[in-house]
Amino acid sequence: MKKVICSLLSLFLISVTLMAQTKVIAHRGHWNCEGSAQNSIASLQKAQEVGIYGSECDIYLTADGVVVLNHDRTHGSMIVEETTYKQLKKLKLQNGEVLPTFKSYLKQGLKDPNTKLIVEIKSHKDTTNEDRCVKEVVKMVKKYKMESQVEYISFSKRACKNLINLSPATPVAYLGSDVAPKELKTLGFSGVDFSDATFNKHPEWIAEAKACGLTINVWTIDNKADMQRFIDQKVDYITTNDPILLKGLLK
Ligand code: MG
């Protein structure tokens, strides 16, 4: 009986996945427009205005324990992990904004609960910093009661494992190319978030992920033909630097 129920449930989940339309995630926010910049508060606000599924951002912990948005290990010539927030914020973003704290980013997120925050925890040089970063992020998301508005992604297996343990109800997807969907499922992941190159190398991983009930996200797709190719394969999410183009294709 239990087996039959499990099979029916799997069939239901697979059909829901097949029916769902691909959704748009703005890579580092919606930054490719007037007044915006990658990983800025404005990039989230612009993504909210466009009305897309989610806005992605990159997260690091500073030397004095402040969670900030930044894609690279460095901000200008400063190593984020080894510099205090007071020092880091002296160098403004391209749109004139101060380097955003994750706290200010969450507050902007609260203004539109319909836009998901896709939070990438960067691999830190120091694993102690990375662990602290994960703990702080989960704590803040809980404090603002945003567990259902946030999804986590990371190249760091260590960070992913901690996220799955600390926030079991929040989706966690793996960005790396070295673990197959089946194994990710057994490790407690909710989805895969692979590059175009990874799916080209392992085209069978799309069907494998769907069969496991994992969500599928692909990055970073900026070309119309590639977008259409993944829409046709019914992936759940496409992460792009051109959310307007992708949104237009999905109409
Ligand atoms: Mg990222």
Span from the CA of 6 to the centroid of ligand 1 (angstroms): 35
User: What is the pLDDT, as a whole number, of residue 164?
Assistant: 98
Give the position of tokens 């400063």.
78
Which ranges constitute the DSSP H helices of the chain? Answer: 2-19, 41-50, 85-88, 102-110, 127-143, 157-166, 181-186, 196-201, 204-212, 224-232, 243-250
> What is the model's pTM?
0.92
Cβ–Cβ < 8 Å for 245, 33: no
Cα separation values, 103 from 150, 153, 194, Å: 13, 18, 28
Span from the CA of 162 to the centroid of ligand 1 (angstroms): 18
Span from the CA of 58 to the centroid of ligand 1 (angstroms): 5
- The CATH classification number of 23-250 equals 3.20.20.190
Span from the CA of 227 to the centroid of ligand 1 (angstroms): 18
First vs last Cα of the chain: how many Å apart? Answer: 42
Closest CA to 237 of 70, 55, 109, 58: 55
Span from the CA of 71 to the centroid of ligand 1 (angstroms): 7
Span from the CA of 56 to the centroid of ligand 1 (angstroms): 6
Span from the CA of 189 to the centroid of ligand 1 (angstroms): 18
Cα separation values, 99 from 94, 126, 184, Å: 10, 21, 34
Span from the CA of 122 to the centroid of ligand 1 (angstroms): 8
User: What is the pLDDT, as a whole number, of residue 251?
Assistant: 86
Secondary structure element (H or E) that encloses residue 55, with its range: strand 54-61
Annotated domain spans of the chain: 23-250
CB hemisphere CA count around 75 (13 angstroms): 29
Span from the CA of 144 to the centroid of ligand 1 (angstroms): 22
Span from the CA of 250 to the centroid of ligand 1 (angstroms): 23
User: What is the pLDDT, as a whole number, of residue 2?
Assistant: 59
- List the pLDDT tens digit at each of the 251 positions of the chain: 556 555 555 555 545 444 569 999 999 999 999 999 999 999 999 999 999 999 999 999 999 999 999 999 999 999 999 999 999 999 999 999 999 999 999 999 999 999 999 999 999 999 999 999 999 999 999 999 999 999 999 999 999 999 999 999 999 999 999 999 999 999 999 999 999 999 999 999 999 999 999 999 999 999 999 999 999 999 999 999 999 999 999 98
Q: Write out the residues surrounding ion ligand 1, Cβ under 5 A.
A: 58, 120
